[in-house]
A = this chain, B = another copy of it.
Amino acid sequence: MGLFTPAALARAFAPDTRIERMLEVEAALARAEATAGVIPADAAEAIAAQCRAEAFDVDALERSARDAGNLAIPLVAALTRVVAERAPQARGYVHWGATSQDIIDTGIVLQLRDALGFIDAELARLCDALATQADAHRRTTLAGRTWLQQASPTTLGLKLAGCLAGFQRDQARLAALRPRLLVVQLGGAAGTLASLGDRGPAIMAALADVLDLGVAPAPWHTQRDTLCECATALGILTAGLGKLARDLALLAQTEVGEVAEPQAPGRGGSSTMPQKRNPVGASVAIAAATRVPGLVATMLTAAVQEHERGLGNWPAEWETLPAIVECCGSALVAMAEVVSGLVVDADRMQANVALTHGQLFAEAAQFALAPSLGRDQAHKLVADACRRAASEGRHVREVLAETPAARTTLDGAALDRLFDAQHYLGASDTFIDRVLAAMPR
């Protein structure tokens, strides 16, 4: 569990929640089997009545899991014991026809459903915040930067809308994977459900019904593609959050100062530097984006599971998938907070635009001259002007004004206009509009 994991996700993947979800599956299985007439209805209810996590010693179960190989074995044994005590007639029907992995996998699916609910909600909140800011800052100009160098003007609105477009695609991916992922696992020992005779498919359907999950065409004990799809979709989302975080952190650098994270007491200080206001939200998201790729790789490596159930690769998922969800969730919460309360310093943006005395507008100048000179000659002319301006400590506008080939095309007004970012934003507004148009009303 990471330091930065949101409480809701920490709860979703806590050791006792894991046990709770597995017990929920055992209870649902008993009821589904009763519905299908495979076990007596009162036995099912008696079993379900004992499926309360608080009655079990989670630490002891975890200790036994080491020798047993998984948590379901000691849990089924413990559940059988308590059922035997309270309802002896039901003890023989506990865990009927299922294998350990049926219980553990379906339990994980339930945990993931909760977690994805949280992720979806936080992602929607972030998207709303981005949409609001992108709209509010559609004419807030700043230096576009490429290769960590000032490049050409852009708007804060477009910067944020670009991220938003990516997050909208993340939403589509997360929506698409749900029906594939949120299905019961029920296959019995070798995936045939032979233990349930000819009632296997009916019970699988009933179990899905009780748990409000879907059904896959066949058990997926060693087909881990849907878990991997969940891992990778969250991995892609987390990378997008890392990108947004790094951009904002770069803009928040002392020497740039164009944005700041929202401030609050106790937020972002230092144990030794009294002046510090660290971008802690970005730090959380970058930490997540740093961790997630390796964790995703583990899920893909672990997916090569042998035969009907693998050896060792399955347990490799148990810590890894929750860690991915937690990383993603922590980054989401952090960035939703940062974007919602983002402090924008438009004056500083203008000051930074002015820093290079017109170099930021070199492409603009090139395209102003290209119709008469050709793009390649204009490129050369402006590059020379930029170099001269830089070496002489002058504004590019001045140098261009002295350059005959430029002067013939551009008069003073045209030159002034050239060095105004508001006149060199191209389709920024259109792009923002297109992205905002995809937001739900």
Contact = CB atoms under 8 A, between A and B. Distances in A.
Contacts of A432: 218
Copies in the assembly, this chain: 4
A426 B195 contact: yes
A240 B225 contact: yes
Interface in A426-441: 426-428, 430-432, 434-435, 437-438
A148 B427 contact: no
Contacts of A2: 318-319
A344 interface: no
Given A304-B239, A376-B80, A280 B189 contact: no
What 4 A-B pairs come out closest when comparing CB atoms? A92-B374, A286-B312, A144-B190, A194-B426
A28 interface: no
Nearest to A433: B217
A254 interface: yes
A420 to B, nearest CB: 12
Given A3-B66, A3-B318, A189-B273, 19 more contacts: A73-B270, A84-B376, A92-B375, A103-B271, A147-B249, A147-B309, A149-B278, A152-B190, A153-B194, A158-B192, A192-B426, A192-B427, A194-B428, A195-B366, A255-B355, A286-B312, A287-B313, A291-B319, A293-B298
Given A200-B430, A270-B100, A376-B94, A254 B356 contact: yes
Given A232-B235, A254-B356, A374-B92, A379 B152 contact: no
A68 B266 contact: yes
B93 A375 contact: yes
11 contacts: A3-B318, A92-B375, A100-B270, A147-B268, A147-B283, A148-B249, A152-B189, A162-B220, A243-B306, A290-B302, A293-B298
A350 to B, nearest CB: 13
A253 B162 contact: no
A2 to B, nearest CB: 5
Interface size class of A (residues with CB under 8 A): 35 or more
Contacts of A275: 356, 359-360, 362, 382-383, 386, 390, 396
Interface in A201-223: 201, 216-220, 222-223
Nearest to A305: B243
A295 interface: yes
A414 to B, nearest CB: 14
Interface string A274-287: 11111110111111
A373 B272 CA distance: 15
B286 A313 contact: yes
Interface stretch (A114-122, A164-172, A402-410): A164-172
Given A223-B240, A306-B246, A283 B297 contact: no
Interface in A363-389: 363-367, 370, 373-380, 382-383, 385-386
A21 interface: no
B99 A270 contact: yes
B200 A165 contact: no
B144 A280 contact: no
Contacts of A165: 216-218, 220, 223
A264 interface: yes
A427 B319 CA distance: 32
Contacts of A223: 162-163, 165-166, 240, 243
B298 A296 contact: no
A334 B153 CA distance: 30
Most buried by B among A152, A385, A437: A152
